[in-house]
Amino acid sequence: MKKKLLIHFLIFIFVIFLADLMCYIGVYIWQVRLTKSNGFENVHFPSYFKNRLVFHDHSTLYFFEKDSRAMGFREPCGLKYKGKAIWLFGGSFAYGADMTLSDGVPDDKTFGYFLSEAFKRPVYNRAYEGWGIQHMLYWLKKPETFEQLPEPEYVIFFHTSDNMLKLVNITYDVWNNGAYLRYKLNKDGSLEEIKPVLEPLWNFYFVKAAFAAIEYKVFLSDKNFDKNFDLMKAIFLESKKIVNKKYPNSRFVILKYNEVNGFGEDYYNSPRWNELEKAGIVVVDAGKLINKDLKSEECVCSDKYHPSEKVLKELAAALSAELQN
């Protein structure tokens, strides 16, 4: 009897492994085709066995807060300036990234640094690679954010067009392990963090592939457009509310940046952004501000995705002129 159970168990494990391996192969082929269709070459994806026993990688808040390998936030820039500060939030575009640099982008080549030089104000960069709108809300809900940072004149969120996908991501993508930060908008207008269930099982590729299908085919379907925009709007408004409760005179700014992939352009170009402006948020379109096609070759760095140093410097100067004059 025990021998039969063992055999059945081993067969079950083998079937699970085979199904997961086949799913990995299918996902690998799909991702290669997708990246090449978007103009990216020489993109490398992890082997099947890499990180199989890693349940929280760099895409998760668990990793950022509890793993000693996490890089942490950037050091503040422009501390020599005496004006009120700027708080900067966003993902890799705000943090500073170039996937061709093994050591990463130095602090004095980031958007935060260029902001400090253009505005003549200290900048506290609370962006991080892979983060979205929800991560700003997460940190603003933490008392230590207000304990550690001085009063801001501006709170700037660097909004890339793929942030709508990030809002509904269950995991960051099929190559990453662990739950991605998510909120849901309740009927009473409150926001609630979605807690993961049976998270260790999310390490299987067939589970993550199912999540990706749900994200693209269900969460981001046309019928959910307004629902998704409502969620995004609620997170921005709640973030502004938290800041202005303590600092009523701080200005909240969304810098919209239409990145190379252009994912979520229907959200990016929606007339519903007027609703946020009417609520007191300053919304600035980066491409229009500097009169450039942000997807053009001159506007991206050597990884063909993130903004070039020249564009970030030009954008910081233009934003300073727009907001301070």
What tens digit of pLDDT does each residue of 167-189 get? 988 888 888 888 899 999 999 99
Task: Provide the b/e sequence for 304-313 (b: ≥16 CB within 10 Å).
Answer: bbbbeeebbb
**Cα–Cα distance for residue pair 51/80, rounded to 1 Å:** 43
DSSP 41: -
Q: Are 232 and 166 in contact (CB under 8 A)?
A: no
Q: 304, 286, 289: which is closest to 94 by C-alpha?
A: 286
> Is there a single domain that holds both residue 62 and residue 155?
yes
pLDDT band at 29 (very low <50, low <70, confident <90, very high): confident
**Residues 82, 85, 91: CA angle, nearest 5 degrees:** 145
Same domain, yes or no, for 20 and 99?
no
Residues 6+ apart with CB under 8 A from 229: 267, 270, 272
- Predicted local confidence at residue 33, as pLDDT: 75
- Residue 311 and residue 228 share a domain: yes
Per-residue model confidence (pLDDT) at position 99: 72
Shared domain for 204 and 238, answered yes or no, is: yes
pLDDT band at 204 (very low <50, low <70, confident <90, very high): confident
Q: Residue 35: its pLDDT value, please?
A: 67
Beta strands 251-257; 282-285: pairing state = parallel
The residue type at 64: F
Q: Virtual CA dihedral for 74, 75, 79, 81, nearest 10 degrees?
A: -10
The better pLDDT of the pair 213, 88 is held by 88
Residues 123 and 42 reside in one and the same domain:
no
Domain range spanning residue 83?
Answer: 51-324
Same domain, 122 and 243: yes
Looking up tokens 């963090």 gives 193
Mean pLDDT (whole number) for 234-251: 98
* C-alpha distance across the termini of the chain, in Å: 82
Considering the domain architecture, whether residues 94 and 68 belong to the same structural domain is answered as yes
Give the DSSP per-residue string, 44-103: ----TTTTTT-SS-TTSHHHHHH-TT---PPPPB-TT--SPEEEEEESHHHH---TT-TT
Considering the domain architecture, whether residues 225 and 314 belong to the same structural domain is answered as yes
Query: Are residues 55 and 21 both part of a single domain?
Result: no
Q: Where are the beta strands (DSSP E) in the chain?
A: 85-90, 123-125, 152-160, 183-185, 191-193, 251-257, 282-285
For residues 1 and 66, membership in a common domain is answered with: no
Q: What is the mean pLDDT of the chain?
A: 89
Number of folded domains in the chain? 2
